[in-house]
A and B are shown apart, each in its own frame.
Chain A
Amino acid sequence: MSEVKSVPRTEASADAVKRESPGGSFLRQRLQQSLAFGTLIVLLAFFSLASGNFFTWTNISGILLSTAVIGILAFGTTLVIITSGIDLSIGTGMTLCSVVTGLLLVNLQLPLFIGVLGGIATGALMGLINGLNVSILKLPPFIATLAMMLIAQGLALVLSGVRPIYFSKVQGFKDIALGQLIPGLPNAVLILVLTGIAAYLVLGKTLLGRYIFAIGSNEEATKISGVNTGKWKILVYTVAGIFTGVAGVVIAARLDSAQPQLGSGYELQAIAAVIIGGTSLLGGRGSVLGTLIGALIMSVLINGLRIMSVQTEWQTVVVGIVILVAVFTDSLRRRREA
């Protein structure tokens, strides 16, 4: 497994450094991504050979379904991390969004679309507050979003009365995640793909995306180039909040309930997916596709280990090790550049 990924990387990246050719870093970035991609293929091949139950449509579709929530969260976080920020509030924030959706649909019995929009708006509002705290109050993103993580956790418990809210009486809610607009494919996976495309377009084709990279690359320079970096940072956190809101609705629909105790820990898994996908915590580098691959690696790993009857506790240990390896290869690459 290690042979497959290490051989092409060292040769090509050393070459790129030597020549200092334009596009060398482009190449390196692609390599980090293809390294992640290669790892994913190797994992798929390994588990397919190890267990006959792995490479079946039901199982693959299950993997995709379990990737949906982490993936959507990770897309939003990718945007924030490329600015060299961080968002720790996405896990419990997602829970708060699903609780709000529950209150609107179950307790207030409002129409479905209002419940969905309410959940997403809650995410956007949290993101906006994160953005304001980072930009206006100049709090470090780690602190600002850590505080928001606790606030969201507390509010979710308070609003729900520490009890799950069940959507069983809400017509069609479950279908948001589990229905199949495309036969055989749960809608949650469709939403994952659509949010991925949205994040990709934002990052690659819009002004916001350009400034996300610029801020992560050199915030001071971006500012004195006449870009209102504060405003754009507020927008980045708000957009990330929208992704959190969507994830909140999807997880509520998938579980057919809003679970106020859930959510803590999701932020770390999402951040792990972003990092495995080659986005640099130092900012300025990253991609949506990489994040998707990162999220898939984690789901495949957990699913595969489960199929091979590895205990849940040990699955967690393996995921931890994967994160270590991913971050280590990233820092190795950076050291090489220095």
Chain B
Amino acid sequence: MLPAVVQIHEYRPQGTSVISEEVGETVGEPLLKVEGISKSFPGVQALSDVHFDVNKGEVIALVGENGAGKSSLMKILSGIYQKDAGTIYLEGVPVQIDGPRHAQELGIIIVHQEMNLMSHLTVAQNIYIGREPRRLGGLLLDEKKLNRQTAELLGRLGIKEFAPTDLVENLTVAKQQMVEIAKALSFDAKVVIMDEPTSALTTSETETLFRLIGDLRDRGVGVIYISHRMEELKRITDRITILRDGKYIATMDTATASQHEVIKLMVGREIDENARPENVRRDNVDDVVLRVENLSTRKLLKDVSFELRRGEILGFSGLMGAGRTELARAIIGADRMTEGRIFVNGKEVKIGQPADAVKHGIGYLSEDRKSLGLLLDRDVNTNILLSSLGNYTNPVGFMKAGSGKGTSQKYIDSLRIKTPSMFATTKNLSGGNQQKVVIAKWLARDCDILIFDEPTRGIDIGAKEEIYRLLNDLVARGKSIIMISSELPEVLRLSHRIMVMAGGRITGEIDSDGADQAKIMDYATRVEQQGAEK
């Protein structure tokens, strides 16, 4: 176990920072205060001159859009990144956080958004990784003590969903998230940072989490809570700090802050949360381009059936791990389905691999554009033509010189891809324009059914609008779109119909007229049966 005493490390000024006069003054100091934090990455200023603080026994919310700098800031506090400038005060004393281990020793603990668990290890081995109890003078691991202290910890936290000796890979995503949280709380924490902790949790698990946060607050721990869900912020946070484009924007008391105001500050302009799709077609009920019947996979999906109509955007909503991406992968043949049938334009098709899907006009745009959608080191032209290269080769397989350029230029123009030329390296384009290159690739291949998985992830707000416009254009031109998105406003704004998934099943279908966030969340959290299924 770690000593409760904080190790105070010598303050080493860096860059342009100035040593504060306040050193040593601890009375009335916030628990954690950061000032003038800046951080840049090649080509991006992730944070510039950001400040905020959290007091003992306080929960503050840190909100901002994707790319606002929340994650970078949290990574600096947890020692994963080093700041370029600025000062971090812990209990009034400036500290230099050297690395993840050091942050833990200081009592700054982070619950990561992505799963940061070792799936082949047990719950206990994960929670105490790096702090294993040992025997025989440190020579051997003390597995018994490890499991005992984990059982004690889980008991103290009231977590009954899994045992210390369970292998993490056998737990559901939600339970894995609970392991992460248990791990964070196993430290003698002064400050706990939670990065969208509820994105995979069901209602009852979220309640458990809120109870844990309440316990932390009562014990005088400061909690930094990052979330997009305004209802949650209202319930558990005391103050809300807003970041935008790497800059500090404002801090408000949660009690008096209006949701509208917070969103406006986050986005930087008025947005209409109640925006709903325009020109929803009602005449296409019988014009089904894709029908999926009783699709199941070995691991997650159970009996999924739905129809995609011509010229519509069908939104897929759900929590992390609900099975939306898995559904897309099963449809395009990237994962094998154990049961189910797929019909394209009324005809049953067999899709054994992604190439078959493309043949039937189904294109999949992965949420992981960079590793699965693009050849980043190649030029825009190559990427656009990648899926349709067969059209530009002679019978022997040699590329016809210069062929296809017309196609590339056509899509660069029609999708308004901002690139110096079609021969610019794709890596150097912005996220939004990269996304458009992927779209162009599938359009060049004559795909009529496009599956977008998180189409605006990692794309800034301006470019988002353009992607939205593009999706609307595409359906107006008779394409049909399945859009998987975790951002409720996005789903509500674009989807003609919304399918909600939970625990590998479709739990609800909502028409755009009757849709609101509460209704979606209600369907999305109907997975209690999944927890019971041991």
Contact = CB atoms under 8 A, between A and B. Distances in A.
B139 A21 contact: no
Interface string A304-338: 00000000000000000000000000000001111
A207 B131 CA distance: 10
B116 A217 contact: no
A17 B299 CA distance: 8
Nearest to A20: B170
Contact of B104 (A17, A226, A285): A226
A218 B112 CA distance: 14
Given A22-B166, A207-B134, A224-B112, A17 B141 contact: no
A222 B167 contact: no
B235 interface: no
A225 interface: yes
A22 B100 contact: no
Given A205-B141, A207-B134, A221-B117, A22 B129 contact: no
Contacts of B456: none
B198 interface: no
A207 B129 contact: no
Interface stretch (A175-183, A208-216, A251-259): A208-216
Interface stretch (B118-126, B246-254, B373-381, B420-428): B118-126
A337 B297 CA distance: 11
Contacts of B100: 223-226
A21 B163 CA distance: 12
B217 interface: no
A205 B171 CA distance: 24
Interface string A174-203: 000000000000000000000000000100
A284 B119 contact: yes
B67 interface: no
Contacts of B119: 217-218, 284
Interface string B132-146: 101000011100000
B162 interface: yes
Nearest to B104: A226
B116 A220 contact: yes
A109 interface: no
B53 to A, nearest CB: 24
Contacts of B335: 338
B117 A227 contact: no
Interface string B148-179: 00000000000000110111011100000000
Chain A, interface size category, equals 20 to 34
A52 interface: no
Interface stretch (A23-31, A54-62, A97-105, A153-161): A23-31
A221 B99 CA distance: 13
B141 A23 contact: no
A249 B78 CA distance: 48
A206 B99 CA distance: 24
B474 interface: no
A25 B167 contact: yes
A25 B129 contact: no
A336 to B, nearest CB: 7
Contacts of B166: 22-23
Interface string B319-339: 000000000000000011000
Contact of A221 (B78, B118, B141): B118
B141 A206 contact: yes
Given A22-B167, A207-B141, A227 B120 contact: no
Interface of B is mostly: loop
B144 to A, nearest CB: 12
Nearest to A285: B120
Interface residues of B, number: 36
Nearest to A220: B116
A213 B170 contact: no
A22 B163 contact: yes
B75 to A, nearest CB: 9
Given A25-B169, A224-B80, A217 B140 contact: no
B130 A336 contact: no
Contacts of A220: 116
A284 B167 contact: no
Contact of A21 (B120, B129, B140, B170): B170
Q: Count chain B CB atoms within 10 A of each CB in A17, A206, A217 and give the residue with the most.
A: A217
Nearest to B115: A221
Nearest to A226: B101
Nearest to B78: A224
A227 B140 CA distance: 17
A209 B166 CA distance: 19
B121 A217 contact: yes
A5 to B, nearest CB: 22
B269 interface: no
Nearest to B166: A22
B278 to A, nearest CB: 40
A207 to B, nearest CB: 6
A216 to B, nearest CB: 7
Contact of B298 (A17, A210, A217): A17
Nearest to B135: A205
B318 to A, nearest CB: 19
B326 to A, nearest CB: 10
B347 interface: no
B125 A210 contact: yes
Nearest to A205: B140
B422 to A, nearest CB: 33
Interface in A276-292: 284-285
Contact of B116 (A24, A221, A335, A336): A221
B337 to A, nearest CB: 12
A8 to B, nearest CB: 20
B282 interface: no
Interface string B9-46: 00000000000000000000000000000000000000
A213 B78 contact: no
Given A25-B167, A336-B298, A338-B299, A213 B118 contact: yes
B129 A217 contact: no
A224 B118 contact: no
Given A22-B162, A226-B104, 5 more contacts: A25-B170, A206-B140, A210-B129, A214-B121, A217-B121
Interface of B: 78, 80, 99-101, 104, 112, 115-121, 125, 129-130, 132, 134, 139-141, 162-163, 165-167, 169-171, 298-299, 335-336, 533-534
8 contacts: A22-B171, A23-B170, A205-B141, A206-B140, A210-B129, A214-B129, A221-B117, A225-B130
Interface of A: 17, 20-26, 201, 205-207, 209-210, 213-214, 216-218, 220-228, 284-285, 335-338
Top 4 A-B pairs, shortest CB-CB distance: A226-B101, A217-B118, A284-B120, A221-B116
